[in-house]
């Protein structure tokens, strides 16, 4: 988590192209077959890892019973609440620090200090403060997401081309108009980079936060499954977490394609 602020272009994670012809599906498929064979022949005992076919069945039954959906909804609500708080606070602080020198003096040192702390290390403290209900979970996610949002938006605001600002000013923009029409759109690419990090971090922290004595949610499912050595359920939950991470990335991508349509990189495609 040390490089939270990055040059917008440099971290475009390119999605591997899953075209059938390229043969990229071959090795995962092979792994799956070996795994299944291993399970059937007893090389891989079920309490170590359930067979893919069993995982698929479990997934199906969890979908049909509604167990998965209801717990996923709980987890998503936690992540969304934490992220929403992190987003609002991060954006507000970045605006204060980015748009005024005094704001920077007041806010930025605290944030630079705060970001050196791994958010998850706060877990014990939050449990002491907030108990083991929803509050520590949501707070953890909020704290973890504030930093990537703040750092990237702040850097983005400060990085807006001063010449463009000057031009906008010379054509009569000032105050809020200047902020809305010139500064914020210029900072948007960086902000979206921050948002992408924040979504990733939110899923990560969600996984850990849900280990805190949850009575519903994906973490609860995993904890339960652990106690009964249900490796099939654990794998299903892992798959769901992976899907969450992937969807988060897709969402930001879609946002970028819409909001940054003016950029040459998007114009070319």
Q: How far is 106 from 83, CA to CA, in rounded Å? A: 24
Give the shortest CB-252-to-other proteins separation in angstroms: 18
Looking at beta carbons only, is 19 or 163 nearer to other proteins? 163
Looking at beta carbons only, is 143 or 193 nearer to other proteins? 193
Cα 38 from chain centroid (whole Å): 34
Looking at beta carbons only, is 171 or 228 nearer to other proteins? 171
Give the shortest CB-188-to-other proteins separation in angstroms: 7
The answer to whether residue 258 forms part of the interface with other proteins (CB under 8 A) is no
Looking at beta carbons only, is 99 or 173 nearer to other proteins? 173
Looking at beta carbons only, is 40 or 169 nearer to other proteins? 169
**Nearest C-alpha neighbor of 98 from the set 28, 169, 5, 14:** 5
Joined together, the tokens standing for residue 36 give 């299944």
String marking each residue 138-167 x if it binds other proteins according to CB under 8 A: -------------------------xx-xx
Joined together, the tokens standing for residue 198 give 């924040």
Cα 124 from chain centroid (whole Å): 22
The answer to whether residue 16 forms part of the interface with other proteins (CB under 8 A) is no
Q: Per residue, what are the HEC states of 48-95?
A: CCCCHHHHHHHHHHHHHHCHHHHHHHHHHHHHHHHHHHHHHHHHHHHH
The answer to whether residue 200 forms part of the interface with other proteins (CB under 8 A) is no
Give the shortest CB-90-to-other proteins separation in angstroms: 22
Give the shortest CB-260-to-other proteins separation in angstroms: 8
Inter-residue contact 209 to 140 (CB < 8 Å) = yes
Any idea what DSSP says for residue 117? S
Looking at beta carbons only, is 6 or 173 nearer to other proteins? 173
Count Cβ atoms below 10 Å from residue 218 Cβ, excluding itself: 25
The answer to whether residue 182 forms part of the interface with other proteins (CB under 8 A) is yes
Give the shortest CB-181-to-other proteins separation in angstroms: 7
**Nearest C-alpha neighbor of 222 from the set 34, 15, 75, 3:** 75
The answer to whether residue 267 forms part of the interface with other proteins (CB under 8 A) is yes
Looking at beta carbons only, is 9 or 181 nearer to other proteins? 181
Q: Quickly list H helices, 210-230.
A: 218-227
The answer to whether residue 24 forms part of the interface with other proteins (CB under 8 A) is no
**Which residues here bind other proteins, judged by CB under 8 A?**
163-164, 166-173, 177, 181-182, 185-186, 188, 261-264, 267
């Amino acid at each position: 988590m040390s490089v939270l602020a990055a040059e917008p272009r440099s971290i475009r994670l390119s999605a591997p192209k899953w075209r059938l012809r390229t043969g990229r599906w071959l090795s995962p498929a092979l792994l799956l077959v070996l795994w299944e064979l291993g399970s059937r022949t007893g090389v891989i005992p079920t309490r170590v890892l359930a067979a893919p076919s069993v995982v698929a069945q479990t997934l199906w039954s969890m979908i049909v019973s509604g167990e998965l959906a209801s717990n996923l909804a709980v987890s998503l609500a936690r992540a969304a609440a934490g992220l929403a708080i992190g987003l609002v606070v991060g954006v507000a602080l970045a605006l204060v620090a980015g748009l005024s020198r005094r704001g920077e003096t007041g806010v930025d040192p605290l944030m630079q200090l705060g970001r050196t702390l791994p958010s998850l290390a706060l877990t014990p403290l939050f449990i002491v403060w907030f108990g083991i209900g929803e509050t520590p979970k949501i707070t953890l996610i909020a704290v973890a997401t504030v930093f990537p949002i703040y750092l990237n938006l702040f850097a983005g605001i400060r990085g807006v081309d001063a010449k463009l600002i000057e031009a906008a000013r010379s054509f009569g923009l000032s105050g809020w108009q200047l902020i809305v029409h010139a500064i914020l759109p210029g900072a948007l690419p960086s902000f979206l980079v921050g948002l992408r990090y924040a979504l990733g971090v939110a899923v990560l922290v969600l996984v850990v936060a849900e280990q805190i004595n949850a009575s519903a949610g994906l973490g609860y499912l995993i904890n339960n499954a652990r106690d009964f050595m249900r490796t099939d359920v654990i794998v299903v939950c892992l798959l769901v977490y992976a899907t969450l991470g992937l969807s988060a990335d897709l969402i930001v991508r879609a946002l970028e394609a819409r909001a940054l349509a003016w950029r040459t990189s998007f114009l070319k495609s």
